[in-house]
Amino acid sequence: MKPTLLVLAAGMGSRYGGLKQMDGVGPSGETIIDYSIHDAVEAGFGKVVYIVREYFKADMEKAVKEKYAGVKTCDGKPLEFVFVTQELDKIPAGYDINPDRQKPWGTAHALLMAKDVIHEPFAVINGDDFYGKESFKILGDWCRRHENTEGQYCIIGFELENTLSENGSVSRGICYYDEKGILTGVAEHLDIAKAEDGKVYGDNSVTGEKHVELAAKALCSMNMWGFTPDYFAKSEASFHTFLKEFGMELKKEYYIPYAVDVIVKGGEACCEVLSTPSKWFGVTYKEDRPGVVAKFQELADKGVYPTPLYK
């Protein structure tokens, strides 16, 4: 069994519009997502599902299939690609929504768009984050271990100090878990940055505490998850409850941590927290771009990735 990689790309229209995908940050113009696909294939994934918006689906599909035409899975078969769309009106019938709302319903809503095309354990990533080879290997191994099981989820936790930007503060969901490594909650922290004293501080949005010292080694979510396919039915049931309560709100979103929390607290699943040694990076600020370009050049120079990545 080869697991599936689900890529959240519906919020990336400005980067994927027309024939343009994301900015080329690799030595030969590779995008961040190019590296994720490369690492996922090495980790044994066999299918990639993109969540996109309808207005750039055709251009995105054409560009992706041209770029990855020669990519083979670990057993020599062509890597499979599927594209599904997330739109504001793709919700269960019978719910009223705010007529002024323009954006779809968030990351957990995006996952539900793939419920008819994924029937095996699967991983979820953001399209514009670099997660590292080790993270994909951990997640691929987890997915294979949970073939034919239900109610088993996981989150890849990155050490907080490995996710900071040198050019400004960030927001991160810090993972809390029990002695068995089972997730008990994700608390959003805002305005996180390393201070002059070398310590990391941030604002806890749950408790309202400001400038709280945070453990540099605390594990946080970078939206890299693993799910058994029963997640879809459980999340869809939770989405009905969400729409009843928040359907008329203008900006409320159905996020993955929210959906997982509802499912776990309802006793329908458990979620492991898996630590990765990888260092995350991405372009949070435009000032981050030169540093990201330098990091990929360094990885190429060390032979971690071939250049060009795809031929």
pLDDT in tens, 113-149: 999 999 999 999 998 899 999 999 999 999 999 999 9
Matching residue, tokens 């400038």: 211
pLDDT in tens, 275-302: 999 999 887 777 888 989 999 999 999 9
What burial class does residue 132 get, using C-beta atoms within 10 Å of its C-beta: 0-12 exposed, 13-18 middle, 19+ buried?
A: buried
Matching residue, tokens 């190019």: 34
Contact (CB, 8 A) for 50 and 40: no
Residues 9 and 69: their CA atoms lie apart, in Å, by 20
Q: What is the mean pLDDT of the chain?
A: 90
φ, ψ dihedrals at 234, nearest 5°: -65, -40
Residue 4 scores a pLDDT above 90: yes
This prediction has a pTM of 0.92
The CATH homologous superfamily to which domain 4-301 belongs is: Spore Coat Polysaccharide Biosynthesis Protein SpsA; Chain A (3.90.550.10)
Matching residue, tokens 């203008």: 250
Contact (CB, 8 A) for 160 and 192: yes
List the single range of 1-15, 74-88, 192-206 with lowest mean pLDDT: 1-15
Half-sphere exposure of 214 (CA within 13 A, CB side): 32
pLDDT in tens, 220-261: 999 999 999 999 999 999 999 999 999 898 888 999 999 999
Residues 70 and 37: their CA atoms lie apart, in Å, by 13
CA angle 213, 154, 212 (to 5 degrees): 10
pLDDT in tens, 66-113: 889 889 998 889 999 999 999 888 988 888 888 898 889 999 999 999
